[in-house]
Amino acid sequence: MQQRTRVFLGLAISAVFVYFAVRGLDLRKVAFWMGQADYIWLAPAVLIYFVAVWGRTWRWHYMLRPIKVISLRSLFPVVCIGYMGNNIFPVRAGEVLRTYVLKRKEGVSMSASLTTVVVERVFDGLVMLLFIFVALPFVNLPGSLGGLVAVASVLFLGALAAFIGLALRPQWARWLYTNTLRRVLPARLRKPVDGFFERFLTGLEFFLRPRDVLMVFLTSVFIWLAETGKYWFVMHAFDKQAGGFPVPFFVLMLMNGIVNLATTIPSAPGYVGTFDTPGIAVLTAYGVDKNLAFGYTIVLHAALWFPITILGAWFFRREQLAWSEVSRAKAQRVESLESA
C-alpha cells in the first residue's frame, strides 16, 4: 500500500472513531467535569509514565544484546525520539525513526533493530491480552469489543509462534525464503534482500535465550502495569464530584488493554480516535457518564501525548537531527539498498 494511501486511510479511520466518540455528548457537561478536575494528579501520572518509558528502554537494551550491547543512557533518548515520532508523524513513523537514530549513533543495522521493535509490539499485544483475560473474572467485557480481542489473540499469538519458529530453525527459514520469495525476485534485488533477510534473522536471535525472553515478558508486564497506574492517577483527578467514578483498577486494566489493541489500527498521528473511542466505550459500559468518560479520556490522552513528545523533540534537537531526516529514515526503512 502506498504511503499516501495509508495516510488517508488512517485519517479516515480516525474521523470515524472521533464521530462515535463525540456523538451524543453534552459539551457543557464535558466542560463541567473537566473544570472540576484536580490536575495536581497529573504530576504523579506523568512521573509513573516515564518510569514505564525507562522500562521500555531497559527492555529494548535486553533485546538488542545479541546484536550490540548499548547502555541505557544512550538508548533512552532514542526511545523518546521514537515515541515523539509516533505522536506527530503518520503510519507509526517513529518506529522507523528510532531505528534510524540508533543506526546513526551506534551503527546498528536498521533491519535488525526494526525486527526487535516488531517483536516488542508482539510482546505488548500479548500483555494487553493478558490484562484483558486477567480482568475478565472481575469485570465483563463489552460485547462490541469481543471481536477485537478475538482477532488480536489470533494475530499476536500467531506472530509470536512464527518468530519463535524462525529463531529456533533458521535453516528452515532460509530454505523457505530461497525456494519461494528469492526465486521470484529480480536478479538486481537478490543480494540486498538476502542481506535484509539475514539481518532480520539476527534480530530474532533474542528468542534463543529463554532467560532473556522471560525477562522481556516480565518487563512488558511491568511497563503496562505502570501505564495502568497512570490511568489510575488521572482517574483520581476526576474523583472530586464524579458520582460513579472511580472504577475498579481491573476496569482500568481492561481499558488499557482494549485501548492499546485498538491503537494498532491505522489512524491519524497520535492515535486520534482509536485511543479515545474504545476507552470511552469501556468506561460507559461500567456506568461512567459518557460526558465524564470523554473528559477523562481526553485528559489522559493529552497526559500521554505531550510529555513524551516534548522530551522526544528536545532529544531530537540535542542529537542535531534535522526534520528532513525523518523522510530519510522512511526511505531506508527496509534497508534493501544497503550492502549485506
Of 325, 222, 232, 267, the closest CA to residue 86 belongs to 267
Reported as a pLDDT band with limits 50, 70 and 90, residue 301 is very high
Chain segment 17-43, per-residue pLDDT in tens: 999 999 999 999 999 989 888 899 999
What is the pLDDT, as a whole number, of residue 180?
81
d(CA 290, CA 164): 43
- Taking residues 206-216, what's their average pLDDT? 83
Given its phi and psi angles, is residue 130 left (phi above 0), alpha (psi -120 to 50 degrees) or beta?
alpha
d(CA 154, CA 2): 26
Q: Is the pLDDT of residue 5 over 90?
A: no
Q: Is the pLDDT of residue 70 over 80?
A: yes
Give alpha helix (H) positions in the chain. 3-22, 27-36, 42-64, 72-88, 93-106, 110-135, 146-168, 170-179, 181-184, 187-203, 210-237, 249-262, 276-285, 290-318, 324-331
Per-domain boundaries in the chain: 3-331
pTM of the model: 0.83
Chain segment 100-126, per-residue pLDDT in tens: 999 989 998 888 888 888 889 888 988
- Which residues are registered as beta bridge partners of 268? 272
